[in-house]
Amino acid sequence: MSIRVLKGSLLTLSFVATVVLSFATCATATHDFTSDGPPSWRTHAILAEAYLRQGLAEEAIKEAERALKMGQGKASAVQPLLARALADHGEKERAIGVLQAYLKDQPADVAANILLESLKTSPLTDEHGRALTPANAKMAPTVVAAVTSPRLRSSWLPPDVDESVPAVEPGAACSLDDVLLEAGKRVKEFVSDVDRFTATEFLEHESINKSGVASRPETRKFDYLVSVAEYRPGFLSVEEHRSSRRSVAEFPDGVATKGLPAMVLIFHPYNVVNFEMVCEGLARWNGTLAWQVHFRQRSDKPNTTRAYRIGNNGAWYPVAVKGRAWIAVDGYQILRLETNLIAPLPQIRLREDRTIIEYGLVHFLEGKVDMWLPQTADVYYEWSGRRSHRRHSFSNYLLFSVADTQRISEPKIEN
């Protein structure tokens, strides 16, 4: 996996482009996500929801109507979504009719009743009281939850980064520019100081059923090698290799997790311009003072962070992410990184993708080198109807320096 990052304002990438984190099916799978049968009504319902979130009411109406036609009685939960799309398209009376028909069978649906009342009595508004138009329409959270039922209880997923802002210390001023400058220096040092490192990787994977109950964990153990380099100004390369007694293709569920060590490159000066960044304040993480920074992929910049790939030679599907990082006040190392999808990717049936990475200090004795590297990474995804959680744990780091590319020593891991 190589990462191509264009410097400065040259941001017209065709996707020979940047991939830092990817999920790929195993080598024997060469089919598209949608090739295992015709799309179900839920696929069209999810697509309708995505279109509506983007303000594309007309497209949302078409997909919602297709879902209702395909699902017939099973797809009745799509009716409130169709009503919202119709209202945003200016078809208020038709929207009211759809809701009234739905509520005859589902009179206890609070969200649908609220939506019907709002359509009857006043112009439809969003959560900030602004009138909704096709350009700015977004579904209220209560409506979203009802649209594509059945959905899992949220307990299998960690909270979305935008559900709430973790507590920060009162009165502590944060200079975002300074934080990003110093954190960017640490990330540049990571790239310049490392030729490659190895680790032992332990993987634990569990599938989640429709009731939110996890299966018995499957485990894998890998010898793991990562190479990081800037092979010419503005171009970064991150390569990783795994070896084990089993084939690397034998990841649980046929989905390989790649690129986790490279997620910190979000804060590399080449990449940071692609995100909206907000310093939320001074927080504490595991007893350490840290600046708490929220980030979100900018719609006017290239997506250089995350992608899904179908098969070894299949197309890449970039996914935009938002997230939060905790950056140490002393040293500006990244202590913890969380990411969420900004929106589902209906064309590959991807509904959820959340990652939480914890970093720790690794001290390499003979080289007198200290580095902050991933200790654990929790990955949650819902793809093609499959919900999964996997935890990667890393230990026994060995460093190969840029200067001599020789193994230094068995490292001491400080907890």
**Residue 13 is assigned to a structural domain of this protein:** no
Under the banding of pLDDT at 50, 70 and 90, the label for residue 401 is low
Point out the domain boundary residue: 90, 107, 137. Answer: 137
Contact partners, residue 411, CB within 8 Å, separation at least 6: 362, 363, 364, 365, 396, 397, 398, 399
Do 290 and 388 reside in the same domain of the chain?
yes
**Domain span including residue 85:** 56-137
**Residue 147 is assigned to a structural domain of this protein:** no
Residue 83's CATH number: 1.25.40
Q: Where are the alpha helices (DSSP H) in 217-376?
A: 269-272
Mean pLDDT over 390-408 rounds to: 70
Closest CA to 196 of 261, 288, 103: 261
**Residue 150 is assigned to a structural domain of this protein:** no
Model pLDDT, residue 16 = 22
Query: For the chain, how many structural domains are there in total?
Result: 2
Do 71 and 205 reside in the same domain of the chain?
no
Do 197 and 285 reside in the same domain of the chain?
yes
**Residue 47 is assigned to a structural domain of this protein:** no
Point out the domain boundary residue: 137, 168, 195. Answer: 137
Model pLDDT, residue 250 = 67
Give dist(CA 73, CA 70) in Å, integer: 9
Mean pLDDT lowest among 31-45, 138-152, 205-219, 340-354: 138-152
**Residue 380 is assigned to a structural domain of this protein:** yes
Model pLDDT, residue 39 = 52
Contact partners, residue 79, CB within 8 Å, separation at least 6: 68, 98, 99, 101, 102, 112
Do 132 and 226 reside in the same domain of the chain?
no
Do 317 and 393 reside in the same domain of the chain?
yes
Model pLDDT, residue 249 = 52
Point out the domain boundary residue: 81, 104, 137. Answer: 137
Q: What is the pLDDT of residues 246-279, one digit of tens each?
A: 554 568 888 888 888 889 999 999 999 999 999 9
For residue 408, pLDDT beyond 60: no
**Residue 310 is assigned to a structural domain of this protein:** yes
**Residue 48 is assigned to a structural domain of this protein:** no
Question: Contact, 78 vs 41, CB < 8 A?
Answer: yes
For residue 357, pLDDT beyond 60: yes
Q: What is the pLDDT of residues 47-101, one digit of tens each?
A: 887 788 777 889 889 988 988 888 877 778 889 889 989 988 889 899 999 999 9
Q: Is the pTM of this model over 0.75?
A: no
Residue 401's CATH number: 2.50.20
**Residue 183 is assigned to a structural domain of this protein:** yes
